[in-house]
Amino acid sequence: MEKLIFIIDDEDPILKMLTHWTKNQWNYNVKAFTNGSDGLNALSENPDLVLLDIMLPDINGNEVLSRIKQKYPQIPVIMLSAQGSVEVAMESIRLGAFDYFPKPIDKNRLEPAIRNAIKNFDLEREL
């Protein structure tokens, strides 16, 4: 079964890079969004994972994370942030993020994190 990843990031170069990695190099289906509202409105498509930037133009990423977790608590969300502070990372994890990556994103760490998050999600669905 093809896995679907939502990428929500308002920075066009990062959105393109993440889409290239996840779609062309790691063979996932991808839907990209430049704001939190559009990503939230598409959740009925049941993504297997969400890559979510914290700094978005319309809704703060942690608020988007909270809304995802309220409606679809099992969907893994990996947070991305240029802020890189421990406080921001801890807040995201406290709100239910599966993982947190500071920007610039380490491609070699991101791929196994995505794979593990989706594997964990699949196991939860089986149970």
User: pLDDT tens, 43-85?
Assistant: 999 999 999 999 999 999 999 999 999 999 999 999 999 876 7
120 pLDDT higher than 70: yes
Query: Which has the minimum average pLDDT: 58-62, 81-85, 107-111, 112-116?
Result: 81-85
Give the separation between CA 78 and CA 3, rounded to whole angstroms: 15
Task: Mark 14-47 as b/e (b = at least 16 C-beta within 10 Å).
Answer: bbebbbebbeeebebebbbbbbbeebbeeeeeeb
Residue 1, pLDDT score: 63
6 pLDDT higher than 80: yes
Residue 127, pLDDT score: 81
